[in-house]
Each structure stands twice: as structure tokens, then as C-alpha cells.
Amino acid sequence: MIPTLRRALPVVIVLAYLLIGLLVLLSFRLNLPATPGAQVGTLLWTHLLAYFAIAGLTHLLLRQFAQGIPRSAQTPDRQQQTAVDTTEHLRAERNRRLAMAVFESTAEAIMITDGGNRIVMVNPAFSRITGYSPEEVVGQSPNILSSGRHDGKFYEDMWRSILQTGSWSGEIWNRRKDGSPYIEWLTITALRSSEEKPHLSDLEGCYVATFTDITLRKETEDQLRFKANHDMLTGLPNRSLFEDHLQLAISHAKRYHRSFALLYIDLDYFKNVNDTMGHAAGDALLGEAGKRMALCVRESDTLSRLGGDEFAALLSEINSIEEIEDIARRVVSTLDQPFQLEQGIARISGSVGIAIYPQHGTRADELKENADLALYTVKKTTRNAYLIYAPEMKEDKEIAG
């Protein structure tokens, strides 16, 4: 309704202006005969002044009206463009608020660096994970988080990937403000402008790093992996891990023309401990026996519990028979010592059967069979001793049937 009146108002004013002009002239014409001659001039000038005053007022009204009309009312195209601009502005403002809300509330830490490799912005998750407030890190180098656990090649490979592909993702050790190390899954992305992203032109050279603390997850994974590959009673590698290590030892020895020894170890009279002192005492003895034997082998060797009272040891990088016999004697000696348990003192002994690569086999099944045959022989004869495999042992076992 109001726009219609605005469009009609100039026409009404112009018509009024013409009507008033006609009335003035008509009035002047009608009054002229009855007016004395002396007053004709005065009357004429009065009417003329009134006419021009009304004309001037009408002109001012029209001008004021024209100035008061909004541009959008004057041009429909401009009105439409203004509406589009307003909508885009509102959308951009909403997106800006949404992006800031995500930045502030996401559980992932976000760190933004400039072209000079200086931190320019971090979010609350960054502070929660690292312990650093924004004021403490803005303007600093990201090296403030370095743990020192990675060598130069690690970072060279990282930056090569970023420069070539625009991003890098992986696990990395970093350090919190309190000095404690943690593992994070880190993604670094370079901000680069393109035809699809022209708005990034003024951010060229900046980087966005996002990361999450995966320390707890890695610890859980390590625990599960340890449980899958280790005996829970002794903490030693289990049969599955032992088999893997045996295959690796064979591959290594074959490639580098080296020798190693496989020891099968059995606890003599262990069943008597279980029967007389209970299974709790037997478990405690197994744990203590594992600790004692671990002190007899070298760091490069592998001691495993295969199950029950059966153990095995892989002695790597063997240079002489004497080395093997020295370790075997120590194992036999330590198992011959009394075990002080809560239930009392327990006594057992140990028997050891030995097979050597490559003299006694080049395959895992050959070595295990011959070490087991040597163990069988020593248990059938003396016990509390060790024996190295000899071919005649197989014949003796077949005869004993």
C-alpha cells in the first residue's frame, strides 16, 4: 500500500500545482474589474508572489520526496542485489561462527603456524593435551613440543612429504609442559590457494597441525600384544612368540652364515611340588625359575616358557661349543638351588637338551625334534644335566621303543 502511494504522490502534487496556478490566474482575472486602478498593480504583484511561492514550495516537496525514496524502491534490480548481498553476508557470518565453535570445542588439538614456522593460534584441546596456554606458545616454534626421540631423518621425511603432497600423517612422540612424553597421531596440512580455494591466497605458507593423544590407546595395544605373545605367569615369551623368533634366527643365520643353539629345558620333579605343596606353590616356583634362568642367558638371547614346566632358549650368535655349554651349566646350576616359597622350601632340578644350527638341522622342525631328543635322553639317564644332540640318540630311542 505504501509503495503505491509513494508512486502516485508526485502526480498528485503536480496536478495540485497546476490547479493552484489556474485558480490564482482566475482570481486575478475576476477581481481585476472591481479593483480601483491604484490597487491593480499591488494586487497583481501579490498574486504573482503567491503563485511563485507555491511553485517553489511544490518544487521543494518534489525534491524532498525524490531524496526520500530508497534506492531499492527506485531500482528493482538493486533491491534484489541488496537482498542477495545481505543473505551472503549472513551466511558468511554464520559459517564463521560455526568454524570458530568447532575450533573451540573439538577434541582434537589444533595448532596453526605462519610462514616463519611460528605458532599463531591454538585451541583449548591443544592446551588440555600439552599443558601450554595460548599465551605461552603463540609466537614460539613448534619445537617447544619436541621430545628428542626422533632423529633428523624422521623430520626430513616428514617435511619432504608435506612439500610434495601438501600433508603428512603419522605417530610422533612429543613432550608436555611438565616434561612427560606422550604419543600423538599428528596430521600436518599446508594451506595452499587454488582455483577452487582462492580465499587461501593470503594464507599461503601457513600450516595447520591437528593431533590427538593416543598414549592410552598405544599402552592398551601394547598390553594386549604382550598378553598375546607372553606367558602371564612368568612374563616370558610364549610358544607363539618363540616360534617366530626361531624362524627369524634361522633366516638370520642362513643369510649371514652364522650359528645358534636351541635349548629345551625341563624342570625335574616339578609335579612333586604341585602334588605336595599345591598349585599356588607350583605357580610361584615357575615364576621364580623363569627369573633365575633369565639371568643365565644374554640380552641377545630369547628365553621362553612353552607351557607347563617346559622352557626353551635361543642362543644367538654362537661362536663355539664352549659358549653353549657354559650357559647350559649355569641353567642347570641355578635350578638345582632350593626355592624359598611361602608354602615352604621346594627342591627341583633341570634337564637341558641342545641342538645347534646348522649341524643338527637347518629347519625349525629338525632343530626342535633333535633338541627334544637330547632332552629325552638326559631325563632318561642322569637328569640335572645337559646333553648336546648326537645322531645315535635317535637310534637309542627307537630301540627303547
| Span 123-169, pLDDT tens digits | 999 999 999 999 999 999 999 999 999 999 999 999 999 999 999 99
Statement: residue 64 has pLDDT above 70: no
Question: Are 278 and 190 within one domain?
Answer: no
Predicted local confidence at residue 299, as pLDDT: 94
Cβ atoms 350, 292 nearer than 8 A: no
Least confident residue range of 55-69, 172-186, 324-338, 366-380: 55-69
At 104 the pLDDT is: 86
CATH number for position 192: 3.30.450.20
| Residue 202: band (very low, low, confident or very high) from pLDDT cuts 50, 70, 90 | low
- Give the residue from 43, 69, 95 where a domain finishes: 69
Given pLDDT bands bounded at 50, 70 and 90, which one contains residue 77?
Answer: low
Measured between alpha carbons, how far is 164 from 382 in angstroms, rounded to an integer? Answer: 69
Looking at the fold, whether 16 and 113 belong to one and the same domain comes out as: no
Higher pLDDT, 188 or 44: 188
Q: Do 251 and 135 have their domain in common?
A: no
Residue 227 is assigned to a structural domain of this protein:
no
pLDDT tens digits, residue range 346-397? 999 999 999 999 999 999 999 999 999 999 999 999 999 999 999 999 877 7
Residue 101 lies in a domain: no
Q: Could you say which of 166, 190, 219 is where a domain stops?
A: 219
Same domain, 256 and 387: yes
**Residue length of the chain:** 401
- The residue-averaged pLDDT of 310-316 equals 98
Please report which helix (H) or strand (E) contains residue 350, including its range: strand 349-357
Kindly state the average pLDDT of the residues 239-260: 97
Looking at residue 378, its amino acid is V
165 and 288 share a domain?
Answer: no
**More confident of the two residues 196 and 212:** 212
State residue 371's pLDDT score: 98
Compute the C-alpha angle 375/379/384, nearest 5°.
100
Element (H, E) at 52: helix 37-68
pLDDT at position 209, please?
Answer: 95
Residue 81 maps to a domain:
no
**What is the mean pLDDT of the segment spanning 12-36?**
54
Q: Which residue in the block uniquely carries the three cell numbers 533491491? A: 79
Specify whether 20 is located in the same domain as 145: no
Within this chain, do residues 126 and 50 fall inside the same structural domain, yes or no?
A: no
Sheet holding 109-113, edge to edge: 119-122, 109-113, 207-213, 181-190, 167-175
What pLDDT does residue 101 have?
78
28-30-34 Cα angle (round to 5) = 100
Q: Are 354 and 261 in contact (CB under 8 A)?
A: yes
CB proximity list for 268: less than 8 A, separation 6 or greater: 348, 349, 350, 351, 379, 383, 384
All three cell numbers of 169, joined, read 600423517
* 215 and 236 inside one domain: no
243 lies in a domain?
yes
With respect to residue 80, please indicate whether it lies within any of the assigned structural domains.
no
Kindly report the number of other CB atoms within 10 A of residue 92's CB atom: 10
Residue 116 has pLDDT above 60, yes or no: yes
Given 198, 219, 240, the domain boundary residue is 219
Q: What percent of the chain has a predicted confidence (pLDDT) above 70? A: 73
Give 190's Cβ-side CA count (13 Å radius). Answer: 18
Rounded to whole angstroms, the Cα distance separating 355 from 368 reads 8
Instruction: Find the CATH number of the domain harbouring 380.
Output: 3.30.70.270
pLDDT recorded at residue 80: 63
Q: Are residues 209 and 240 in the same domain?
A: no
In a domain, 365, yes or no: yes
Q: Is residue 272 in some structural domain?
A: yes
Say how many domains are in the chain: 3
Q: Please check whether residues 144 and 202 belong to one and the same domain.
A: yes
Structural domain of residue 212, as residue ranges?
A: 106-219
pLDDT-derived band at 22, boundaries 50, 70, 90: low
Do 65 and 140 have their domain in common? Answer: no
Tell me whether residue 89 is in a domain: no
CA 184 to chain centre: 5
Same domain flag for 372 and 236: yes
As a whole-number percent, the residues of the chain with pLDDT over 90 amount to: 66
